[in-house]
Amino acid sequence: MTDVLSKHRKFGILDGPVLLFGGPYSNFEATSALFERASLLGITGSRMVCTGDVCAYCGNPAETARLVMGSGARVVAGNCEMSLGERTGDCGCGFEEDAACDRFAMEWFTYADAALDDGSRAWMRALPGIGTFIAYGKRYAVIHGGASAVNRFIWPIASDAVLREEIALIEAALGQVDGVIAGHTGMAFERTVTVGERPVHWINAGAIGLPAHDGDPRTSFALLTAEGVRFERLDYDHETASEAMRMAGLRAGYDRSLECGYWPSEDSFPKEMRLGRVA
């Protein structure tokens, strides 16, 4: 896949609260609800930042892609954009070979790959691997997984050394940052590590398209304000989204995830994070 740091885009100075989100995952209902929430908050697309994977698990890849493309949101490429844009035939998620998540991915990836038109793929190919913006006087980098690899899973329990390693790669390429906005794991969290004598924040806004494997069908996003980061849950019509998956023939278990709040497999999680609950 394309080197994450090889294509950089400056998103500029974002004046006011910034809505951070990741993983629309072909969930049209959730993505629509997110944009409605943004409108109620007075946040336009130019102050919305997405960490990628617009099209993945759920039932409306083409519609969700068009919605995000038309929103004006600042988007970086996830592994799904890189794969779908280049027609690689594989999602490039980084799951272990023959793991359940790897097998399940073939179903939804094949469906999304068949649904997208050339315009959506061209938009995906044009997305940057990393973006930067300034908000409230601080400089942030935006990536999908890691700077070392677009599909690197950086979980809430990652060591400080792992976070420093990723931050060092970003700063060597693009200069000093005060924070990193990332995604890929689908779980919202914030960590702060010391780099030299500076605090640097690592922020994962979670995923809009799937719940966070905690038994709550609501999904997650974050607001970056003058006071810091605030994580929010999103209510949306998950029953319609789940039915759209079944109508599309997507029955690997993610349709049930939308309803019960648990993923169909835990094999991509670190052992310390497994709950023994699946959809």
**Quick check: is 258 in a domain?**
yes
Question: Quick one: pLDDT at residue 93?
Answer: 84
**Quick check: is 112 in a domain?**
yes
Question: Quick one: pLDDT at residue 92?
Answer: 79
**Quick check: is 278 in a domain?**
no
In angstroms, the CA 24 to CA 191 distance is 23
Residue 170 structural domain: 4-273
Quote the Cα angle for 187-189-190, to 5°: 155
User: CB-side exposure of 235: number of CA atoms within 13 Å?
Assistant: 0
State the chain's mean pLDDT as an integer: 95
In angstroms, the CA 241 to CA 236 distance is 9
DSSP secondary structure string for all residues of 196-238: TTEEEEEEEE--SSS--SSS---EEEEEEETTEEEEEEE---H
DSSP secondary structure string for all residues of 89-119: SS----PPTTSHHHHHHHHHHHHHHHH--HH
In angstroms, the CA 20 to CA 222 distance is 5
In angstroms, the CA 120 to CA 244 distance is 20
Long-range contacts of 256-259 (CB under 8 A, 24+ apart): 257/210, 257/211, 258/27, 258/58, 258/210, 258/211, 258/217, 259/217
**Quick check: is 210 in a domain?**
yes
In angstroms, the CA 190 to CA 48 distance is 18
**Quick check: is 223 in a domain?**
yes
172-220 residue pLDDT tens:
999 999 999 999 999 999 999 999 999 999 999 999 999 999 999 999 9
**Quick check: is 279 in a domain?**
no
The answer, as to whether pTM is greater than 0.85, is: yes
114-123 residue pLDDT tens:
999 999 999 9
Q: What is the mean pLDDT of residues 233-259?
A: 96
Q: How many domains does the chain have?
A: 1
The pLDDT confidence band at residue 103, using thresholds 50, 70 and 90, is confident
**Domain holding 219: CATH number?**
3.60.21.10
Instruction: Flag whether pLDDT at 1 surpasses 60.
Output: no
Question: Quick one: pLDDT at residue 95?
Answer: 63
